[in-house]
C-alpha cells in the first residue's frame, strides 16, 4: 500500500486573520472551501503551486475562545529558496518565535499559536 499525505488541519479562532497571515507569511492562498448549511463551521483549504499538499483551516462558529495548543510540540515545515529574505519578512511581521542559528532554522507562530518551521533549501 502507498499512502500520500494530502493535508493537515488547524482549527482557527479568526478565519480571516489566519488566512491573511498564511498568505503574507508563506504564500498560501485559498483553493476551496466548505461551509456547513447551518453555518456551524467553515473549512478552507490553502495551498500553492509548489506542492499538492494543503493546509486545512477549520473555523467553528461556537468556539468562544482561542484554542489551547498545549506545549505546541508540533509544527508544519516550509522550505524556502531565499532564506534571508524570508527571515527579514518574518522579522518585520513580528512572528518569529524561536530561532536555532546553529541549525540554520527558525520558527514563526501564526495568529492561533501554531508553529511553522522555516528552513533553507539544502
Q: What is the pLDDT of residues 29-41, one digit of tens each?
A: 999 999 999 999 9
Domain positions in the chain are 7-62+72-120
- Supply 53's cell numbers: 499538499
Q: At residue 100, what are phi and psi to the nearest 5 degrees?
A: -120, 90
CATH number for the region 7-62+72-120 comes to: 3.10.180.10
For residues 120 and 80, the answer to whether their CB atoms sit within 8 Å is yes
109 half-sphere exposure, CB direction, 13 A CA radius: 12
Distance CA 111, CA 122 (A): 29
Q: 64 burial class (0-12, 13-18, 19+ CB within 10 angstroms)? A: exposed
Distance CA 121, CA 119 (A): 7
The pLDDT, as a whole number, for residue 73 is 76
The pLDDT, as a whole number, for residue 21 is 98
Q: What is the pLDDT of residues 45-86, one digit of tens each?
A: 999 999 999 999 999 999 999 999 887 778 899 999 999 999
- Supply 77's cell numbers: 515545515
Amino acid at each position: 500500500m502507498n499512502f500520500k499525505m494530502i493535508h493537515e488541519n488547524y482549527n482557527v479562532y479568526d478565519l480571516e486573520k489566519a488566512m491573511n497571515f498564511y498568505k503574507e507569511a508563506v504564500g498560501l492562498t485559498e483553493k476551496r472551501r466548505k461551509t456547513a448549511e447551518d453555518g456551524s463551521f467553515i473549512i478552507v483549504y490553502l495551498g500553492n503551486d509548489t506542492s499538492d499538499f494543503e493546509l486545512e483551516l477549520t473555523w467553528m462558529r461556537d468556539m468562544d475562545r482561542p484554542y489551547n495548543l498545549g506545549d505546541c510540540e508540533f509544527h508544519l515545515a516550509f522550505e524556502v529558496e531565499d532564506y534571508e529574505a524570508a527571515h527579514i519578512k518574518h522579522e518585520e511581521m513580528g512572528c518569529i518565535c524561536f530561532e536555532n542559528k546553529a541549525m540554520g532554522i527558525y520558527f514563526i507562530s501564526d495568529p492561533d499559536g501554531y508553529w511553522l518551521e522555516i528552513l533553507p533549501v539544502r
